[in-house]
């Protein structure tokens, strides 16, 4: 109710100011005709000054005097007829003032009712953070999320040869008989994921991580999170969040974990955290990385929700994957995607080594090596780029920033 009282008071106040101006018939201390008279008399004096300086002739001066004098007579007659109120009709002024007040107040209410959010309460930052924490606490467990949102077990995809299925069955049986066979588990994870049996792949990856213990890498935990999230239709469960954080504890730059943690932040209504994660990941990634396209499609809207001013940087324009490669990457498991990215980075490195390239391309290569954790190659690329662009301070500064992002800028 307080909101509506304030809005009504502001609308009535604005309308009253305009209405009062109409009722007075003037906006200053004198009627409009009095201002006109002052201007015309100044014009007469200006004509005399121009005539004295020889700017105009006597004939032109006479004609101008006659014209301005007619305007003076007209303004004087208007001033005499209107008096101090300027001749504003009282009744018409009252009607127009009332219409203005009603139009502003009523129109404002109507517009707010159409495009606003009447009845929506204030949402201070503390309440938003509390709501986000409540959403985090209420996240579904992985099994429930898979049952509710996931595709379930897909069975045998169409077109899979019988011989391949027999090999899969033999692999499943071998892993069941030798549950400590790490290599067999890795093959099983990839095979089940390739067939669309994501829940089965997730269970195999969990079994592998249990075997690896502390030896499990950031990529191993990121793969588990990837399988969990895809098995639940994009929902980030409590177990998936734990897997993401485990990956980032081992490697804070692990790109898959950073991408999915940004997705998780969006799902618990923390666009500010999602924006920071995705902005930094986008800055450090090569264009061919599979997470770049979905980030670029959403990050400006996320920035607006986070209250940040952000403009999407233009693509560097270097050759990237074609539509077929992008489509293929979407169907790959995380390990295969990583290998695909490594192949693209190797191609970029070979082209720069043979043909050279722009500073932007060298920066992308350095960043890419940093994201992949190949610091020796990142350092070598940085050293080569320094030699190429040592005479260009601006480009060298950009390359140094890429090297610092990759952890080799000392």
Q: What is the mean pLDDT of residues 95-108?
A: 76
Coil, helix or strand for 350? helix
Lowest mean pLDDT among 126-130, 165-169, 304-308, 377-381: 126-130
Report residue 303's pLDDT band, with 50, 70 and 90 as the boundaries.
very high
**Is residue 318 scored above 50 in pLDDT?**
no
Q: What is the mean pLDDT of residues 111-136?
A: 75
The tokens for 208 are 């592998």
**Is residue 263 scored above 90 in pLDDT?**
yes
Lowest mean pLDDT among 101-115, 125-139, 319-333: 319-333
Q: b or e along 150-185 (b: 16 or more beta carbons within 10 Å of the residue's beta carbon)?
A: beeeeeeeeeeeeeeeeebeebbeebeeeeeeeebb
Mean pLDDT of the chain: 81
Classify residue 150 as left (phi > 0), alpha (psi -120 to 50) or beta.
beta
CB 18 within 8 A of CB 27: no
Percent of all residues in the chain with a pLDDT value above 70, rounded to a whole number:
81
pLDDT at res. 177: 92
Domains and CATH numbers, the chain: 2-115 (no CATH), 320-410 (1.25.40)
CB within 8 Å of 296: residues ≥ 6 apart: 282, 312
- The whole-angstrom separation of Cα 20 and Cα 298 is 49
Report residue 154's pLDDT band, with 50, 70 and 90 as the boundaries.
low
**Is residue 131 scored above 80 in pLDDT?**
yes
Kindly write down the DSSP assignment for every residue of 187-240, as one continuous string: HHHHHHHHTT-HHHHHHHHHHHHHHHGGG--HHHHHHHHHHHHHHTTT---HHH
pTM confidence score: 0.56
Instruction: Say how many Å lie between the first and final Cα of the chain, rounded.
Output: 60
**Is residue 319 scored above 80 in pLDDT?**
no
pLDDT at res. 153: 62
Q: What is the mean pLDDT of residues 249-265?
A: 93
Report residue 40's pLDDT band, with 50, 70 and 90 as the boundaries.
confident
The tokens for 18 are 């305009």
- The whole-angstrom separation of Cα 169 and Cα 333 is 20
Kindly write down the DSSP assignment for every residue of 4-72, as one continuous string: HHHHHHHHHHHHHHHHHHHHHT-SSSS-HHHHHHHHHHHHHHHHHHHHHHTSS-HHHHHHHHHHHHHHH
- The whole-angstrom separation of Cα 113 and Cα 215 is 60
pLDDT at res. 140: 92
Question: Pick the residue with more confidence: 404 or 64?
Answer: 64
pLDDT at res. 76: 77
- The whole-angstrom separation of Cα 190 and Cα 197 is 10
Percent helix, strand and coil across the chain, each to the nearest 5: 75, 0, 25
What are the backbone dihedrals phi and psi of residue 194, each rounded to the nearest 5 degrees, phi first?
-65, -30
**Is residue 340 scored above 60 in pLDDT?**
yes
CB 295 within 8 A of CB 263: no
**Is residue 341 scored above 90 in pLDDT?**
no
**Is residue 265 scored above 90 in pLDDT?**
yes
């Amino acid at each position: 109710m307080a909101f509506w009282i304030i809005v009504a008071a502001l609308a009535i106040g604005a309308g009253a100011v305009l209405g009062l101006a109409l009722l007075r018939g003037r906006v200053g201390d004198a009627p409009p005709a009095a201002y006109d008279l002052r201007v015309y008399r100044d014009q007469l004096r200006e004509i005399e000054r121009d005539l004295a300086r020889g700017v105009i002739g006597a004939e032109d001066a006479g004609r101008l005097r006659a014209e301005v004098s007619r305007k003076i007579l007209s303004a004087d007659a208007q001033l005499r007829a209107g008096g101090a109120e300027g001749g504003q009709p009282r009744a018409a002024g009252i009607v127009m003032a009332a219409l203005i007040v009603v139009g502003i107040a009523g129109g404002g209410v109507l517009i707010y009712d159409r495009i606003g959010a009447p009845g929506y309460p204030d949402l201070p930052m503390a309440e938003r953070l509390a709501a986000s924490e409540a959403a985090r606490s209420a996240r579904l467990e992985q099994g429930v999320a898979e049952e509710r949102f996931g595709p379930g077990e897909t069975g045998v995809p169409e077109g899979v040869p019988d011989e391949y299925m027999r090999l899969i069955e033999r692999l499943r049986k071998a892993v069941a008989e030798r549950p400590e066979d790490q290599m067999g588990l890795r093959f099983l994870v990839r095979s089940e994921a390739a067939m669309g049996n994501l829940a089965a792949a997730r269970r195999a990856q969990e079994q592998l991580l249990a075997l690896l213990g502390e030896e499990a890498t950031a990529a191993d935990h990121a793969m588990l999170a990837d399988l969990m999230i895809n098995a639940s239709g994009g929902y980030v469960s409590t177990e998936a969040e734990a897997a993401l954080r485990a990956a980032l504890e081992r490697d804070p730059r692990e790109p898959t974990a950073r991408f999915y943690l940004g997705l998780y932040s969006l799902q618990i209504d923390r666009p500010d955290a999602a924006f920071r994660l995705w902005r930094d990941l986008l800055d450090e990634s090569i264009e061919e990385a599979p997470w770049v396209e979905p980030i670029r499609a959403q990050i400006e809207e996320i920035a607006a929700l986070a209250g940040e001013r952000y403009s999407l940087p233009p693509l560097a324009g270097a050759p990237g994957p074609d539509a077929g490669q992008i489509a293929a990457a979407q169907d790959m498991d995380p390990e295969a995607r990583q290998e695909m990215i490594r192949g693209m980075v190797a191609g970029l490195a070979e082209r720069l080594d043979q043909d050279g390239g722009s500073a932007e391309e060298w920066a992308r290569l350095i960043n890419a090596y940093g994201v992949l954790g190949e610091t020796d190659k990142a350092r070598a690329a940085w050293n080569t780029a320094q030699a190429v662009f040592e005479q260009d301070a601006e480009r060298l500064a950009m390359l140094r920033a890429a090297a610092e992002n990759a952890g080799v800028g000392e």
